[in-house]
Structure 1
Amino acid sequence: MRFARLLVPIALTSVVLAGCVNTKDPSGGAAPTTVADNGVKDLPVAEIVAKAAAATDAAGSYRVKGEVTQDGRKLSVDAQIKSKDVSGTVTMTQGAAKVRRVGTSLYLQADPALWGIFAGPAAETIATLFKGKWVKTSTATKEFAELATIGDVTQMVQTYGTSTITKGELKTVNGMRVIELKEASGGSIFVATTGEPYIVRVELKDGALDVSEFGAKFDDIVAPPADQVVDLSGLMGMGK
């Protein structure tokens, strides 16, 4: 499984949607009210996937957090997504990389050891000259293309293809009632069956990612200050 696909599922610690909410009655007491069933559990798989992807996109923002393993390497992901803009951190054994995507611009700030993964022959030069700086490139830059999609949970789900997904059981995940959708490769997608049919968890063979904080403002997803940015677009083979 490719690096981008592992990151794409995107989040996610505690889910902000609860299976039930409390409302106060006129006397001041708490009257529990169950959130209405959204009906997705009774739909065909293709319709569940389509509704889940649409609802998650419509939320406008969400957080992805979790751990996965690729090629024997454990990756920890924590990303905030607002539309297609992203602010997050990917941590490996070698160190961590901060990632920001704003429009078509991609900004990276990585530990020296990680530049060997991201920048190849240019790694040592970048790590030495631009320590503490944000390296700016484009989302189309081939060396960093996989990082450009970090956190895009709906893209990940759409790569599966509904013909490889079967409907599983109703479960409770992160305090929410969900329907499990089992993917042929061994993973699962969990879709909320109350409230909006958000994608709230993705399980892979070697890890899991949770999605939460749907609709959060995430006002800090902006380009780094100009004096902290080094633009490498078009240099050293990048952007081609």
Structure 2
Amino acid sequence: MAAVLAGCGAEDPDAGTNGVGKLPAATIESKAQAAAKGADSVHLSGNVVSQGGTYKLDMRLAKNGARGELSTKAAGFQLLRVGDALYLKADAAFWAGEKSGSGPASATAAKLGGKYVKVPATDPVYQRFSGFTDKDTLLAGLLGLHGALAVGEHGSLDGVRTVRLTAGSGSGGTLDVSLEGTPYPLRLRRAGGAGEVRLDDWGKSVDLKTPDAGQTVDLGKQISGTG
């Protein structure tokens, strides 16, 4: 009788959810990745370690562009992409670092400070930062877990019920997936302490507008290393 009563009292952690928590780990991962790819937009924030540097991100990503802020230990700046046009807004100190030499380079940096600088597609600055504004590219690089997958504990994040995926017993990263509605990924802890990011506002509209002409500078074919 005691065993029967105990069984009746046990709560199903997946009751009232989207049912994803009952699925195998690999299936949960694939559903979360598919949900992320299918979404029109997302707000991504957190810290990412890449190529030996730590980046702090606060980006709103959409299919046709993105806007937000990116910072390192050395500098912080705003990124805006509308279609293929990438703009970078930073202070003069940032642009002085992108320039070589002095004199004309310093004068140019002063003119660029506080403006939306249209970055030529052939410039190394474009290659370095455009990936942070590409929703699918950025998420594909971030959401991968490394090692054998397992279904972890149920929990909640900002009031949303979640299930956690772990990889390599946790050393390969963890991913918290929504158990409510669409199984979007909501938080990722990257393998090897390579950062943690939060993902929210899935599908919400992102206001992307080309900056006013008076706030824009177009330097032509190249920014880096020229005066």
Common fold by TM > 0.5: yes
Moved more, 77-86 or 138-147: 138-147
Q: Which amino acid aligns with 2:77?
A: A
- Alpha-carbon contact 2:62-2:135 (below 8 Å) kept: no
Change beyond 3 A, Cα 1:58–1:139:
farther
Worse-superposed segment, 168-177 or 40-49:
40-49
Q: Which amino acid aligns with 1:67?
A: N
Is the radius of gyration larger for structure 1 or structure 2? 2
Q: Is the Cα contact below 8 Å between 1:84 and 1:103 reproduced in 2?
A: yes
| Partner of residue 100, structure 2 | 121
CA distance in 2, matches of 1:109, 1:54: 33
The within-5 A match list for 1:100-179 is: 100-115=80-95, 119=98, 121=100, 124=106, 126-138=108-120, 141-150=123-132, 154-159=136-141, 164=147, 166-169=149-152, 170-179=154-163
Gaps of 5+ in 2: 1-13
Deviation for aligned residue 1:101: 0.9
Query: Is the 1:57–1:154 Cα contact (8 Å) retained in structure 2?
Result: yes
What secondary structure, in the 3-state scheme, does the structure 2 residue paired with 1:146 have? Answer: helix
Which is further off, 82-91 or 154-163?
Answer: 154-163
How many correspondences in the alignment? 203
> C-alpha offsets along residues 65-121 of structure 1, whole Å, 9 cap, x if unaligned?
22345678654321111224111011333342000011111100113343366x353
Say which SS state the counterpart of residue 218 (structure 1) adopts. coil
Instruction: Report the CA distance shift for 1:138/1:165 in structure 2 as closer, same or farther (over 3 A).
Output: farther
Identity of aligned residues (%): 28
State the match for 2:202 in structure 1. Answer: 214
Question: Hey, which of these two has a bigger chunk of helix by percent?
Answer: 2
d(CA) in 2 for partners of 1:206, 1:37:
31
Residue 192, structure 1, aligned to residue 175, structure 2: no
Q: In the alignment, what sits opposite 2:189?
A: 203
